[in-house]
Amino acid sequence: MAWMQHLWPGSLKNRLFVSVLLFVLVPFSLFQIRNIDKLEFKMQSGIAEQNAAQLEFLKDSFESLKLEVFAAMLQLERQPELRSRLMAPEHFPVEERELFLRNKLLTTKHALMNGTVPLHITMMDMHGHIYTTMTENLEQQTIAADDILGEPEFLRFNQSDEPYFWSIHDPKDLLVKEFPHARLYSFYAKLENIDKTAFGYLRFSLDISAWLSSITNGFQVKQSYYIMDGDGNPVLQTDESWGEAGMDSILPRFRENPEAFFTDSRNHSLYNSVYLPHSGWYLINRFPLEALSGSIRDMKRQLAASFSVTVCLFAGITFAIASAISRPLRSLELRMRELVERNLNVHLPEERYKGESRMLARAFNRMTDDIRGLITRLKAEERQKEAIRFQMLMSQMNPHFLLNTLNTIKWNARNHGDAGTSEICQSLGRLLECSLNTDVDLVHLREEIELVEAYVHIQSFRYDHTFEVRYEVGEDVHYALVPKLSLQPLVENSIYHGLVHMNRGGTISIRAFRLEGMLRLEIEDNGQGTDSGASGSGLARKRKGIGLGNLRERLQLLYKGDARLRLQPLEQGMLVQLDIPLLVSSPYGKEHQHVENSSG
């Protein structure tokens, strides 16, 4: 494919123009030619969507009408006055009873769909009386109730337990005069008491042809509508072109996909359908496509002419835009080469660019400024790190010097027979050794207890052994990991703020045990409470200090909210509870460096 590389332009401007020509204009031209062929289909799709929306509206209106009829039946069934007149008509005067029931039915009829739907209601009691919304009420009474109850629809109540149903039928009995040439869609209901005993029958008869005509008269486009049942039998048709419309071949296609639309080339018609689930019917409309043929041809010619002009203009504009883009990119390329050569003072003149090119130049200048600032900050941080490291080394020297001095004092005291001073120096040396070890944050509980013992030993000398410390530590938590120097500030708090004002009898209890997957550490003393005055000083005991604040901050850093430190006042003294996650480590062979063998 080397010959293609020779044919391909070398400059960005020409490559951009050829790329747009080959990959935009040519495909777009082919695509538009294909779209012209599909234009008719698109228009048909638009009409089909409009027809589908109309069918959905008809479906909603139909289902709404059925729901309103059902609600009207329930309302009539639950009226005590109506029920009493149907169950015991002999207790009411004939004219008053007929007038009352007729008015009830007329009120219900006019409430349904605002009285615009051709609808009639027939009601019968169990004593052979008939009540309807017909105009000629006396003439209607010549038909016996047995004749009506003998119709197949009413006999259905005796053959099944269903209290109500819808049925399509031709007009009979009282309805023949009102609907001589109509198909009726009627709602039959058995009026029942709470104990399921029937006290009457009710029938709502709807002329669905007149209902469909009243709904579709408001549509701008006049079409033909058909209603078919699930077996393909016609329920309703608005014209007599059932066979010519080819409905027998259209219905199976709608059964497979009720939401689709189809065209029939034989009669140049477009069909839409919507399924009525509660009735099992298909509502289908037919739209003639002859009216679209002339408009489609004109639109094809106009589209072809406008597309040709657009292609020519687009080619010229593309070449101009490609030239405008390539010039600032060339300038940017030169500046970036200077940046690669570590010339960080590169800067693009933003006022020479426009639009996206200016934004690109601005972003490039911001990038170079950020790089210079970042390098400056990195140098400053590096110098700061070196200074911090130096201070850390110096801070390690001071405790180490103190540790060596303590060894000297300890041996001097031991040589002069001062055992107490020697023991204090040894305990203080152990505490200093722990502070020097900055490599670990967690230690065994056993080691932490040893540090507490060293601290208590020093304080016992200071306060002349006026208090004692008791340890209750389970063997199963000896090697649990705890924060280093976490118990010492709690014990110090108990001594300085709880036992310092007691002459004798002060006790500090240190307990450690497992509790629901946590390690519970408790420091309890019987010293001064939070409210009682300190002996000889009158000052209330306070528990806050630098040690506790430091411990809380370390717990937050180590456990991220999983540790809890609580101070609970007692009747005498204070209880401090520290809960931390239980982490048990295997014992390790750690050679302790004692004050005796520490060296400078």
**pLDDT tens-digit profile of 539-568?**
334 444 567 888 888 888 888 888 999 999
Instruction: Locate 11 and state its tokens.
Output: 């400059």
More confident residue, 307 or 167: 167
Portion of the chain with pLDDT greater than 70, in percent: 70
Most confident of 88-97, 290-299, 492-501: 88-97
Indicate if the pLDDT at residue 240 is higher than 60: yes
What distance in Å separates the CA atoms of residue 120 and residue 203, rounded to the nearest whole number?
8
Question: CA nearest 451: which of 466, 465, 437?
Answer: 437
Q: Mean pLDDT over residues 283-306, rounded? A: 71
Q: What is the pLDDT of residues 335-365, one digit of tens each?
A: 677 666 666 677 777 777 777 677 777 787 8
Q: Mean pLDDT over residues 293-304, rounded? A: 65
The predicted structure's pLDDT at residue 590: 47
Q: Mean pLDDT over residues 476-496, rounded? A: 88
The predicted structure's pLDDT at residue 543: 43
Among 132-141, 382-391, 488-497, whose mean pLDDT is lowest?
A: 132-141
| Beta carbons of 473 and 449 less than 8 angstroms apart | yes
Give the 3-state secondary structure of residue 225: strand
Indicate if the pLDDT at residue 461 is higher than 90: no
| Beta carbons of 154 and 148 less than 8 angstroms apart | yes
| Beta carbons of 368 and 393 less than 8 angstroms apart | no
Q: Mean pLDDT over residues 463-483, rounded? A: 87
Indicate if the pLDDT at residue 2 is higher than 60: no
Q: Which residues contact 347 (CB under 8 A, 6 or more apart)?
A: 365, 368
Give the 3-state secondary structure of residue 523: strand
Average pLDDT, the chain: 76
Q: Mean pLDDT over residues 181-202, rounded? A: 88
Q: How far is CA 441 from CA 3, 322, 482, in A?
A: 70, 64, 8
Q: What is the DSSP string of 239-273?
A: SS-TTTTTHHHHHHHHHH-TT-EEEETTTTEEEEE
Among 24-38, 101-115, 479-493, 504-518, whose mean pLDDT is lowest?
A: 24-38
Q: Which residues contact 219 (CB under 8 A, 6 or more apart)?
A: 54
Among 179-193, 259-273, 404-418, 585-599, whose mean pLDDT is lowest?
A: 585-599
Question: Against a cut of 0.85, is the pTM above it?
Answer: no
The predicted structure's pLDDT at residue 74: 92
Q: What is the pLDDT of residues 85-144, one digit of tens each?
A: 999 999 999 889 989 999 999 888 888 866 567 888 999 998 888 898 876 544 444 567
In which band, very low, low, confident or very high, does the pLDDT at 71 lie, cut at 50, 70 and 90? very high
H/E stretch holding 285 reads: strand 281-288
Using N-to-C axis directions, what is the helix angle for 419-436 and 445-462, rounded to 10°? Answer: 140
Question: CA nearest 485: which of 526, 522, 440?
Answer: 440
The predicted structure's pLDDT at residue 482: 92
* Sheet containing 506-515: order of strands: 467-473, 506-515, 518-525, 574-581, 564-569
Q: What is the pLDDT of residues 395-405, one digit of tens each?
A: 544 454 455 55
Portion of the chain with pLDDT greater than 90, in percent: 13
More confident residue, 245 or 330: 330
More confident residue, 100 or 435: 100
The predicted structure's pLDDT at residue 593: 41
More confident residue, 198 or 296: 198
